[in-house]
Amino acid sequence: MSWKCLALALGVSLSSPGILAQTLQPLGAKDLAIALPMTFRELPRDTLFPRTWFQTISNGFSQTSVGSALETESPYTDWQVVSLRLAPCAPLGQTPGGADQNCWPEIRLVWQPVQRKIRLHERYMENAGDDRAVHALYPVEPARFLNASDALRVQTHIRTLTEGKALDAASRKEFQSARDLVLRELLPAIANLRERTLPAAVFLGFGIRPEADDSSLQKSFGQRLTNFLNRWASPTDLRTLTAFSLPEGREPAHLDEWVFLAFRGEKSRLIPDPILIRSARDGRVLANLGPSMRGSQNRDDDKLYDLLNGSFDAEELASSVMLRVNDIERLTPVVRDRERLLVANTSCVSCHKMNDLRFDFHNFSYLEDRDITISPRVKRDVELDLIWLQKSGFITQP
């Protein structure tokens, strides 16, 4: 069945991309960025975050200064989902140009270990997030919505765009039509996560998802969210996973070191992947840091400084990576904005140190018992997602 026949079979008019605007209530930031309180334990762990993943991640950190900290401080049973990002238009390319067109729907989960009834820094904490997290990314699988031959072609288009190459006119039309079909399934599923007795206004702005913060609504919301994740974010759909951790000791301000790992997903398995920094101009590799890197409040990975040799590549690194403390203020407006830099164009460390508290490296998770950190990058991404959905005719103005 061709994508046109599939569209007709689903009753979708390809000439009317705004058809959803007639049936969907407006989506707000809390629909696309779902922050869960640390007390929310309604989501299953084993089916979404296999123990083998935890062991692979722990083994990866064992080769770094983190050592056995995951095993000793943050065992598998402490890990839980603390946030989700439902991204309708996740950029596929290697450069910011055309990111609002070369994009595909993606689900992102943030896992974090949470300690209960713990004493830290001379203070009792009912719940405290350990200074480590896992970000798991699940691009929506075309084969779930298209027949085998159509899905294979669309997957080829996705791979072509991911490699930074252009599509011809016919391929681009097929790619965009397939993406629209997926969104016509995904967006109603996102809207249906809402508790319908709540007013639309409570889903605007950033903060804890209202149903997850209400004891009378937690269980039903947890069931809806579990069903959603089982469909849209199963382990077999994982494509990339990154993790960061403080070394053992639970003293971020004093230890002042965070280690990052990268993996790709293959048939539910984690495979170590090199951490690359690509040019925002043409996508070429500016730095290959291997499967792990580390940084501090004031510096990035030591290997990057060896590349500052006055070359053109070195100039690009200096324009996209927070190599020194005074770069944080200068580059935050650039690094936070995917219209100027993609994640692939900067370092893991730079992406994680744009918060007001210098030793808070969390993007969408918890530092100890503080309120959940929602970084400038997350907020800007959600703002751009909502603008894109409105311009594309998928949702109405709030």
pLDDT above 90 as % of the chain: 91
Dist CA 342 CA 203 (whole Å)? 27
> 202 Cβ partners below 8 Å, 6+ apart?
30, 210
> What mean pLDDT is predicted for residues 339-362?
97
Does the residue 206 lie in any domain?
Answer: yes
For residue 391, the surrounding DSSP H or E stretch is helix 376-391
Dist CA 154 CA 200 (whole Å)? 35
Does the residue 398 lie in any domain?
Answer: no
> Is 221 in contact with 196 (CB distance < 8 Å)?
no
Does the residue 126 lie in any domain?
Answer: yes
> Is 314 in contact with 244 (CB distance < 8 Å)?
no
The three-point CA angle 115-120-126 to 5° equals 45
Residue 396: pLDDT band with limits 50, 70, 90: confident
pLDDT of residue 25: 59
Residue 395: pLDDT band with limits 50, 70, 90: confident
- The residue that leads in pLDDT, 11 or 395, is 395
Comparing CA positions, the residue from 319, 251, 305, 250 lying closest to residue 70 is: 250
Q: Give me the number of domains the chain comprises.
A: 1
pLDDT of residue 398: 61
Does the residue 252 lie in any domain?
Answer: yes
Dist CA 163 CA 218 (whole Å)? 41
Does position 47 have pLDDT exceeding 90, yes or no?
Answer: yes
pLDDT digits (tens, 9 = 90+) for 196-207: 999 999 999 999
Beta strands in 198-301 (DSSP E): 240-245, 258-266, 269-272, 276-278, 285-288, 292-295
Strand 285-288, strand 123-129: pairing? unpaired
pLDDT of residue 2: 40
pLDDT of residue 20: 43
pLDDT of residue 26: 80
pLDDT of residue 34: 98
pLDDT of residue 24: 57
Does the residue 290 lie in any domain?
Answer: yes
List for the chain the helix, strand, coil content (%; round to 5).
40, 20, 40
Range of the domain at 342: 3-391
Does the residue 397 lie in any domain?
Answer: no
With 0-12 / 13-18 / 19 or more C-beta atoms within 10 angstroms meaning exposed / middle / buried, residue 298 is middle
Dist CA 236 CA 272 (whole Å)? 17
pLDDT of residue 397: 65
What sign results for the dihedral spanned by CA atoms 98, 373, 362, 70?
Answer: negative
Dist CA 56 CA 284 (whole Å)? 29
User: Which of these ranges, 140-144, 172-176, 350-354, has the smallest mean pLDDT?
Assistant: 140-144
> What mean pLDDT is predicted for residues 354-376?
97
Does position 92 have pLDDT exceeding 80, yes or no?
Answer: yes
Does the residue 396 lie in any domain?
Answer: no
- The token pair at 34 is 């779902």
pLDDT of residue 287: 97
Does the residue 296 lie in any domain?
Answer: yes
pLDDT digits (tens, 9 = 90+) for 234-256: 999 999 999 999 999 999 999 99
Does position 19 have pLDDT exceeding 60, yes or no?
Answer: no
> What mean pLDDT is predicted for residues 184-206?
96
pLDDT digits (tens, 9 = 90+) for 286-343: 999 999 999 999 999 999 999 999 999 999 999 999 999 999 999 999 999 999 999 9
